[in-house]
Structure formats: C-alpha cells, structure tokens
Amino acid sequence: MARSDEVVTLARAVPVYGAPLAVAGGMDALVAQLRAEFGPIAPVQVARGVGAWLVLDYHAVLDVLRDADRFSSDPRRRRPSGAGGGAADGDRLRQAAGTDGTEHQRLRGGLADALEPLRPARLGEATRLIAEGLISRFAPTGQAEIAGQFARPLAHHLTARILGLAPAEADALHRLTEARPAPGAPDPVLAFAEAVTAQRRLNGDAAAAPKDTPRRRRAVPAAAPAPAAPATAEPSGGVLGRLLEDPALRETEVRDQVAMLAAHAPLLGDLVTHTVAALVYDPVLRAAMAGGGVRPADAVEAALWRHPPLAVADRYATRTTRMGRALVRAGDHVLVGIAAAHTDPGLTGDGVRAGQRAHLAFGAGAHRCPAHHLAATIATHALTALLQALPDLHPTLPADRLRHRLSLATPGLEALPVAFTPVRDPGRPPVPEPAPPDVSNPLRRPPSHRPPRGDGGPGA
C-alpha cells in the first residue's frame, strides 16, 4: 500500500484489461483493490504499456465531469507517448464526443435540436409495439435469452426509427453494431453512418444549404397528440433528416453524430438487459413492484446505479495537477470511473442517492447525455411490455454464473437466460431476426430477409 504522503505516478500503473477482469468479482473486485492501494484515483494500464488514471471516488468523478477547463474531452489533448494512450475499447463512443467549448456547444446544439421533436408518448408506444413483436418470437417456448433475443434487437430497431432509417438500413445497423472488426480495420458503423448520410443527401431529403454558416435555431413543431398506433416513433424524416437540414453542420459532422447515436444502440440494449436482470434477481424489488410501491421507471434507475451501460468516460488533463496523491500531468488520459463511483463506500448515509436520481450513468456537466430521457423511456416501456406478457419471468442461472463482457468501458451482460410459463397466443407477429454481420457493404440487405407486412418492427 502506498504511504499517505507518497506521490503516485503512472509508473505504478496496474493492468485493468484482459485477465484481471476475468477473475472472481471482475471489475468490482479490482476497483476495491485499487481503492485500498491508491485512494480516490489510481494509475492503471488499459493496454500493454498504455497508462491512464482511473477516478474512483464519486465526488471526484463528479468534479472531473464538470470541470472542462482542467479535464478536456478532446483526445487531441492527449500526450503522444504510451502513457497518454487511449483505452482499448469503446472507440466509437470516444471518437464521436471529443470536443469542448464553443465547438461542443455548436455540435451538441445541432443534436439537441434534432432530438427535440421526439415525443415520449410516441416513443413509448413504438417501444411497446416492437417489444411485443420480439416477445412473440419466444413467448411460446417458455424460455428466452433476454440480451440477444429482446434487449439488443429492441435497441437497434428503436435507434433506427429515431434516426428515421428505412427497414433495410435498420437491419444493417443491427448487423454492424454487433460486428467486432479486427484491430486497425475500418469501423463498419462509421462507414454505415457515412453511407446513409450521403444517400439521404443524394435523395434530396435535406435542402442544399451551405454547411459553414452561423448556427440558426429552427422552430420546433408544436406537440401533437400521439395516435393510438403510430407507424413510427419519428416525425419529420427522423433525426438524420433534421441534422442534414441544419445549416450549421457539415456533412462529416452529421455523419459523426449518426455514428455516435448508432454506437449507443448496444448501450441501450445493455440498459434494458440490466433492468430486467435487476428485477428478476432482486426479490425485494420484484415484490415492491408487484405491490405497487415501485414502478418500472424505478427499476430502470436501480439498473443505472448498479450497472451503468458506459462504465467509464474519457477526459484528458489540460495541465499538470494533483488529485489526492496522484500527480496527473498535462496530456494524461483520465478515465472517469462512473461504475466505480457508484460503488464508492463514501456514499453510504450521505443522502447522495436520495430518490435514486443522482446516478452518473448519463454523465454530468456540459457532456451529459442529451438523450438520457429517451433511453429511460425506452427501458421503462420495454420492461413494462415484458412483464405484462410474461408476468412470471424468472432467471435460470444463479447470479454469480452470469458472464459480463471483459471490457473496461462497456462491461454489459453477455447473456441473460430466463424462463416463464409459455404463452401460446402472443398476439403480434414476430419481428424478423437480422442476418449475420456483413461488414463489406454496410447497406446490403440479404435478399432472403423480408419482414412480413404489418409487423411491429422498424418498418411498420
């Protein structure tokens, strides 16, 4: 253990990739070890010879997230040496969010404008329809794997709807976000985003306005009552169409925004999976919900506390500073430990978790997720639809046998097997499964894959 007056540097970095994540207890055990050794911030290796700082303390995490002056989101701030290298996973998310200051405000403003017309009631109804279609595929069998058969396809279909994509593009999104390209290979999700953006522009869905003019805030359509069975969750051509209409955004910036939203679809799937897991593995929570004392939205909040989909966020020190015993040098990579902060022993009894609304799963400060309310809405309605269709849902494995991805950034459950009383007449036609990944052509749709008319899927 380090002495209380010892200055800690990255020379003492502890590996947090590969084998250390696979030991009993996984990252939770590793975080406890790092806390005991180093305190609120620990030197770690995210890959061989690649060092970073992992912030573990809740209040320190909150400070770093809010202090854009000392801790930038721009990876160009990173020192070019090995000690300042980037983490080995989550690159799609990191590349898309790496701006600060007025540049970040401009890009975030464009995305916020594009998301603003979305109505939670319409999105909730679209979630229910897609969820029912997915449930109908496995309801007669009496068993299911929630992550692969429900949560992830639901997240991809809804992300496609929010973007305003065609059915073939929605299928491609699902295939490509599930693909794992080889190190150094082109990112298929970025290629997909570029292809759909260029195609939409060629189709004339956005006015051919100059893309470097000063930002003009567009008027937002007034709220309209949600129809009983909306054909789509998305008005006015989708987020992609509205981004292309924004004269303050270049086409490459629209592509990057689309790629960021697409890259978050698996995280949305993880949130739905962990919300179901929180319910089926916690008898107290399940009983409280059955008794009406807990709502599905509360189960979502519990899951966000216990298993935030994005476990770390990236920052880069803009100047040399001391944090506890740690000497953080200008350009050092700082990993903001969101999941670690949620297990901070210092939270006990101090009221931080009052109402379960102070979690950091969606970030804080200028980079707080602009779509956090949409993610919570989707997870809430997905859980509601699942419990209404399969009220006796229960796990088939002990909790300690569940496997998480060996990822520092996105350690979601690989699978969540459950069982229930079979339902012979689930009602809605099933949502078709996507074809296996094909990264050679991000928009190619297998000719044999044709969804039935009138399904509850993304093309309905």
Task: Read off the pLDDT band of 286 (50, 70, 90).
Answer: confident
Supply the angle between the helices 296-306 and 265-281 in degrees, to the nearest 10. 110
Task: Read off the pLDDT band of 215 (50, 70, 90).
Answer: very low
Task: Read off the pLDDT band of 442 (50, 70, 90).
Answer: very low
* Residue 351 scores a pLDDT above 90: no
3-class SS of residue 52: strand
Q: Which pLDDT value is given to residue 432?
A: 53
Selected residue with higher pLDDT from 214 and 287:
287
Contact 42, 34 (CB under 8 A): yes
4 residue type, one letter: S
**Domain residue ranges in the chain:** 10-216+225-419
Q: Count Cβ atoms below 10 Å from residue 90 Cβ, excluding itself.
A: 20
Q: Mean per-residue pLDDT for 143-154? A: 96
Whole-number Å distance between alpha carbons of 239 and 113: 9
Q: Which pLDDT value is given to residue 45?
A: 94
- The mean of the pLDDT values for the chain is 80
Q: Which pLDDT value is given to residue 280?
A: 94
Q: What is the CA radius of gyration of the chain?
A: 22
3-class SS of residue 53: strand
* Residue 236 scores a pLDDT above 70: no
* Residue 178 scores a pLDDT above 80: no
Q: Which pLDDT value is given to residue 332?
A: 95
* Residue 449 scores a pLDDT above 60: no
Contact 58, 352 (CB under 8 A): yes
Q: Which tokens hold the place of 376?
A: 């919570």
Between vectors from CA 364 to CA 358 and to CA 369, what angle results, nearest 5°?
105
The answer regarding whether domain 10-216+225-419 maps to CATH 1.10.630.10 reads yes
Least confident window among 62-66, 252-256, 269-273: 252-256
pLDDT tens digit sequence for 127-141: 999 999 999 999 999
Q: Which pLDDT value is given to residue 161?
A: 92
Which range, 38-42, 99-103, 208-212, 342-346, has the best average confidence (pLDDT)? 38-42
Contact 312, 408 (CB under 8 A): yes
Across the strands, what pairs with 338? none
Whole-number Å distance between alpha carbons of 215 and 238: 20
* Residue 184 scores a pLDDT above 90: no
- What share of the chain in percent tops pLDDT 90? 50
Q: Which pLDDT value is given to residue 180?
A: 73
* Residue 385 scores a pLDDT above 50: yes
- What sign has the CA pseudo-torsion 64, 67, 73, 78? negative
Q: Which pLDDT value is given to residue 35?
A: 94
Among residues 122, 137, 144, 330, the alpha carbon closest in space to that of 230 is found at 122
Strands (E), 57-196: 71-72, 143-145
Question: Using CB atoms within 10 A of its CB, is residue 66 exposed (0-12), middle (13-18) or buried (19+)?
Answer: middle
pLDDT tens digit sequence for 68-122: 999 999 888 887 654 444 443 444 444 446 777 888 888 888 899 999 999 889 9
Q: Which pLDDT value is given to residue 221?
A: 31
Q: Which pLDDT value is given to residue 458?
A: 32
Least confident window among 54-58, 93-97, 230-234, 300-304: 230-234
Least confident window among 98-102, 343-347, 407-411, 415-419: 98-102
Selected residue with higher pLDDT from 382 and 454:
382
- Name every residue whose Cβ is closer than 8 Å to that of residue 421 and which is 6 or more positions away in sequence: 142, 390, 392
Least confident window among 145-149, 168-172, 255-259, 313-317: 168-172
Least confident window among 236-245, 371-380, 412-421: 236-245
